[in-house]
Amino acid sequence: MQDELERRRTLRLECEEFLYHAAELLDDRRLSDWHDLVTEDIEYRVPIRTTRERSSNTEFSEEAFHMKEDWGTLKVRTERMSSDFAWSEDPPSRTRRQVSNVRVIDYTDDEIELKSNLVIVRSRKAETDPDILSMERHDTFRREEDGYVPDWSEGGGLKLARRTVLLDHTVIPTDSLSIIL
Amino acid sequence: MSHDIEQSLSAGESGPQRTRRILDSMGETLERGEVPIEILNDEDIYQRELTEIFGQAWVYVGHESEVPEPGDYRQRTIGEDPFVFVRDEHGKIRVLFNSCRHRGANICRAEKGNTTHFRCPYHGWTYQNTGDLVGVPQKGAGFDHLEAEEHGLREAPHVDTYNGLVFACIAPEAPSLEEYLGGATWYLDMYFDLIDMEVVGDPQRWVVDADWKTPTENFYGDNYHVPMGHKSAIDVGIGSETATGEEESKLYGIADCDGHAFSIYQIESEKPMFWGHPERVVETFNHDALDDDQYEVARKSGVTLGTIFPNLSFIFLGGRDDPNKDPVGTFCLRQWQPRGPGEMEAWNWILAPTDAPDEYKERVYEVGMSTFSAAGNFEPDDIGIWDGIDEAAGSVFAEQTEATTLFTMGRGENTAATVDDDWAGPGTAYANGGVTDENQLDFYRKWHETMTTEGAE
């Protein structure tokens, strides 16, 4: 029992530190470093949400997305966003990611399934009224040697293998998604 | 309000005076290829657009494939007005006003679904999906005088479909849709008659800090901005074959086409181009649907884009989301929804050939999404550039100087943009269409004409 509790605590701490680290990379616009932390078979999805009746079994589309990415398309996006000619991000928008409510759902020796909440506060130019993006993320982390390792950890590195972003918005409340969620 | 303030206010221009000044002067500025920038952010102009443009024109509502079954519905807006786009139980497409005849509450509150009836949550008045009123609680006790057949939901008086595209006009009197589209049908047939198309999933929707006219103007044919505006996407290798220079093309700008405009990249090649669709997909097209001239233009088409007045644009292109994957032909249909002066909401639908294999349709969606959408590799750069035009347009300085935007490209003596008299389709075709502003001027001519039409006061 004590061992199990300790293991869950360690896992959650490890996941939280990975999420905080990834958020820092994105907030600091180190997009290529972020891309190094996704697995080669990553599935990254941001399905479109619609307002539905309560009786409807889901509000999220299975065929329509804002982003539906793999390793290659994420590489294209991160490279493009880093270009001197990506006008939507030059001057760059300023983002601050607030990660919270981290819940480990399931785990094996190789993979951890978790949920977390994310609020992104995004500002541009001299605007004092920032755009706020609110969402839940369902992630799967996988142990890979060249993944992220917190300095206290004795375990293997972590990479992002699957992410589904469940937005709280049906209309994206910011003028472009030229950022990674 | 103090006396002094009242005096200083009365000395300035009132909203209607300002509107009149702008519209009057625009008649002259258009002649010299200029447009008053103030129209991109002005409250009175905006209110007049809602009544005189969105309240008068045929406005796109949706695609038939979005409501395939009886009872299927989608909430839509015409201008800012709330409507329900529904296929009724008899299979007829209707555009119902989303407001109960009793006290005005929304009778439809979900964005989409399927229903036989809409029931108002306020007092329980119930309407069939045909709009007919069929239920009034305590009718005998309180509404025995009410004629149910006269209290069905109000609906758009004119609804019509062109090759799957559903439009509505809320004005009492309207020309037929075909008459309104005019020469544009010759071009639309190349996409929607040659190819049976269907919408994949739900539209992407996002807010944009720009006036609805700014992207509309762009999609009337601003082909001048591509090398600079979209350099970041072209540099990472996902531009279309015509944008990257892999295939040399000629660009035709189609202006003077009943208020609508198109840009058509033609690739002179023996092989069929068809906007980048591969042979196995081209095989599924309706090859007999077009006349020989149209068919030849379709065969040679690289990127094609255009706009149906007032706010329905499209871009059809061969593209990819990763330089290591095969390009596919993808069709993005977009509507620039007015949401206030200098503010809009963009809607983007991605369409795929109905008879193509499922895995190809999935790729069409992915490439469309990665190219033109809120998170597309091309679109955000446009939007990033447009942010700020509204501030300049709404400025005191713009008003004081009667500042204009400039559409004189291609007017010089040595212009490369020349009229191609051999062009088979309707409208005036400008060869080297990337260096003329005639398409875009057409938008503002049509806009101005609509805003100043007799009775528009």
Rg of chain B taking only CA atoms, in angstroms? 23
Rounded to the nearest 10 degrees, the angle between the axes of helix B358-371 and helix A71-81 is: 20
A174/B375 Cβ within 8 A:
no
CB of A165 closer than 8 Å to CB of A117: no
Residues of chain A scoring pLDDT < 70 = none
Q: What is the pLDDT of residues B214-244, one digit of tens each?
A: 999 999 998 888 777 777 777 777 776 766 6
């004795």: which residue's tokens?
Answer: A154
pLDDT for residue B3 is more than 90: no
pLDDT for residue B338 is more than 70: yes
CA distance B292 to chain A (A): 36
Percent of chain B scoring above 90 in pLDDT: 82
> Burial code of B51-69, b = ≥16 C-beta within 10 A, e = fewer?
ebbbbbbbbbbbbbbbbee
CA-to-CA dists, residue B33 to B30, B38, B225, B406, B438, angstroms? 5, 16, 18, 6, 9
Q: Nearest 5°: phi and psi at B107?
A: -90, -15
Eight-state DSSP code of residue A92: P
Average pLDDT estimate for B393-408: 96
Mutate to test the interface with A, among B73, B98, B207 (most CBs of A within 10 A): B207
pLDDT for residue B184 is more than 70: yes
pLDDT for residue B12 is more than 90: no
| C-alpha angle A63-B263-B179 in degrees, rounded to nearest 5 | 85
User: Residue B140 — very low, low, confident or very high, per pLDDT cuts 50/70/90?
Assistant: very high
Q: What is the pLDDT of residue B1?
A: 44
CB of B85 closer than 8 Å to CB of B62: yes
Q: What is the pLDDT of residue B27?
A: 94
The secondary structure of chain B in percent helix, strand, coil, rounded to multiples of 5, reads 35, 25, 40
A86/B375 Cβ within 8 A:
no
Mutate to test the interface with B, among A73, A83, A169 (most CBs of B within 10 A): A73
pLDDT for residue B2 is more than 60: no
Q: What is the pLDDT of residue B456?
A: 44
Domain ranges of chain A: 2-167
Contacts of A173 in chain B (CB under 8 A): 206-207
Distance CA A79, CA A93 (A): 16
B206/A174 Cβ within 8 A:
yes
Contacts of B205 in chain A (CB under 8 A): 170-172
Q: What is the pLDDT of residue B102?
A: 98
Distance CA A56, CA B71 (A): 15
pLDDT for residue B195 is more than 60: yes
User: Residue B381 — very low, low, confident or very high, per pLDDT cuts 50/70/90?
Assistant: confident
Q: What is the pLDDT of residue B238?
A: 77
Q: Can you list the alpha helix ranges (DSSP code H) found in chain A?
A: 2-27, 31-35, 71-81
Residue with more model confidence, B204 or B15? B204
Alpha-carbon dihedral of residues A54, A55, A58, A62, nearest 10 degrees? Answer: -130
CB of B138 closer than 8 Å to CB of B102: no
Beta strand pairing call for A94-107 and A60-69 = unpaired
CA distance B8 to chain A (A): 31
CB atoms within 10 A of CB B392: 15
A/B interface, count of CB pairs below 8 Å: 143
Q: What is the pLDDT of residue B387?
A: 86
B383/A175 Cβ within 8 A:
yes
Which of B200, B229, B237 shows the shortest C-beta gap to A87?
Answer: B229
A50/B200 Cβ within 8 A:
no
Contacts of A76 in chain B (CB under 8 A): 236-238, 321-323, 370, 377
Average pLDDT estimate for B198-214: 96
Contacts of B366 in chain A (CB under 8 A): 68, 73
Q: What is the pLDDT of residue B244?
A: 65
Report how far Cα A103 is from the mean position of its chain's Cα atoms: 14
Contacts of A84 in chain B (CB under 8 A): 232
User: Residue B457 — very low, low, confident or very high, per pLDDT cuts 50/70/90?
Assistant: very low
Structure token digits, residue B313: 């644009």
Residue with more model confidence, B454 or B382? B382
- Among the listed residues B308, B304, B68, B336, the one whose alpha carbon sits nearest the alpha carbon of residue B194: B304
The domains found in chain B, sorted by start residue, are 59-173 (2.102.10.10), 183-451 (3.90.380.10)
Distance CA A15, CA A37 (A): 13
pLDDT for residue B6 is more than 70: no
- Tell me the DSSP string of B90-130: TS-EEEEESS-TTT---S--SSEEE-SEEE-TTT--EEETT
pLDDT for residue B156 is more than 90: yes
Q: Can you list the alpha helix ranges (DSSP code H) found in B245-378?
A: 279-282, 292-299, 358-371
Mutate to test the interface with B, among A62, A90, A175 (most CBs of B within 10 A): A175
- Tell me the DSSP string of A57-90: S-SEEEEEEEEEE-HHHHHHHHHHHTSTT-GGGS
The residues near B16 (Cβ < 8 Å, ≥ 6 apart) are B44
Q: What is the pLDDT of residues B242-279, one digit of tens each?
A: 666 667 889 999 999 999 999 999 999 888 999 999 99
CA distance A104 to chain B (A): 29
pLDDT for residue B210 is more than 60: yes
In what helix (H) or strand (E) does residue B62 lie, and over which residues does it extend? strand B59-63
Burial category of A150 from C-beta neighbours within 10 Å (exposed 0-12, middle 13-18, buried 19 and up): middle
Contacts of A67 in chain B (CB under 8 A): 369, 375
Indicate the fold that domain A2-167 takes in CATH.
Nuclear Transport Factor 2; Chain: A, (3.10.450)
Q: What is the mean pLDDT of chain B?
A: 93
Average pLDDT estimate for B86-102: 98
Which of A50, A63, A85 shows the shortest C-beta gap to B235?
Answer: A85
Residue with more model confidence, B307 or B231? B307
User: Residue B203 — very low, low, confident or very high, per pLDDT cuts 50/70/90?
Assistant: very high
Mutate to test the interface with B, among A85, A132, A167 (most CBs of B within 10 A): A85
Q: Which range has the worst mean pLDDT, B227-231, B355-359, B364-368, B415-419? A: B227-231
Distance CA B221, CA B234 (A): 19
A73/B232 Cβ within 8 A:
no
Q: What is the pLDDT of residue B249?
A: 86
Contacts of A125 in chain B (CB under 8 A): 387-388
CB atoms within 10 A of CB A93: 22
Q: Which range has the worst mean pLDDT, A34-38, B198-202, B267-271, B293-297? A: B267-271
CA distance A19 to chain B (A): 22
CA distance A117 to chain B (A): 21
A48/B204 Cβ within 8 A:
yes
Contacts of B374 in chain A (CB under 8 A): 66, 172, 176-177
| C-alpha angle A28-B206-B94 in degrees, rounded to nearest 5 | 165
Which of A62, A76, A176 shows the shortest C-beta gap to B379?
Answer: A176
